[in-house]
């Protein structure tokens, strides 16, 4: 599907526009009070932490985190993937890796389960 080919920045922009529109229509009620507020803040901070750690990891290996970008190194360990990654990013990334690394990728797939 073409909608899954959007970059992360485009997803942020689209979601931001949708949130503003819903808020303007009073359809988005945000209440950060008590335990729900603390939980929301902790989930947000954890998400930002995982995103930051992942970007640092990709940077250390001198490759792009964009699954549609030019991969320069096959990273075979060290990342924790979420369900959303499995549904949206990994299928596209696998296609790009198969096209870029051909024989190395095929050999890796034959000796490694999809989820380690």
Could you list the beta-strand ranges (E) of 50-99: none
Give domain status of residue 94, yes or no.
Answer: yes
Q: Which domain holds residue 61?
A: 31-111
Give domain status of residue 4, yes or no.
Answer: no
Instruction: Write down the pTM of the prediction.
Output: 0.45
Give domain status of residue 70, yes or no.
Answer: yes
Q: In 10 A of CB 50, how many CB atoms?
A: 14
Would you call 88 helix, strand, or coil by DSSP? helix
Give the pLDDT confidence of 12-69 residue by residue, as tens digits.
788 788 888 887 887 766 666 777 777 878 888 888 887 887 788 888 888 888 777 7
Give domain status of residue 105, yes or no.
Answer: yes
Domains in the chain: how many in total? 1
Give domain status of residue 76, yes or no.
Answer: yes
Give domain status of residue 100, yes or no.
Answer: yes
Give domain status of residue 18, yes or no.
Answer: no
Q: Confidence band (pLDDT; 50, 70, 90) for 104?
A: very high
- Structural Rg of the chain based on CA atoms: 18
Give domain status of residue 42, yes or no.
Answer: yes
Q: What is the mean pLDDT of the chain?
A: 77
Say if CB 32 and CB 40 are below 8 A apart. Answer: yes
Residue 78 has pLDDT above 70, yes or no: no
Q: Confidence band (pLDDT; 50, 70, 90) for 77?
A: low
């Amino acid at each position: 599907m073409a909608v899954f080919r959007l970059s992360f920045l485009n997803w942020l922009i689209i979601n931001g526009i949708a949130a503003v529109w819903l808020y303007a229509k009073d359809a988005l009620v945000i209440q950060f009070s008590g335990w729900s507020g603390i939980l929301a803040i902790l989930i947000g901070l954890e998400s930002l932490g995982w995103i930051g750690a992942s970007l640092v990891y990709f940077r250390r290996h001198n490759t792009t985190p964009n699954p549609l970008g030019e991969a320069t190194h096959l990273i075979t360990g060290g990342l924790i993937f979420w369900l959303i990654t499995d549904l949206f990013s990994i299928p596209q990334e696998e296609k790009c890796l198969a096209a870029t690394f051909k024989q190395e990728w095929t050999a890796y797939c034959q000796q490694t389960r999809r989820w380690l």
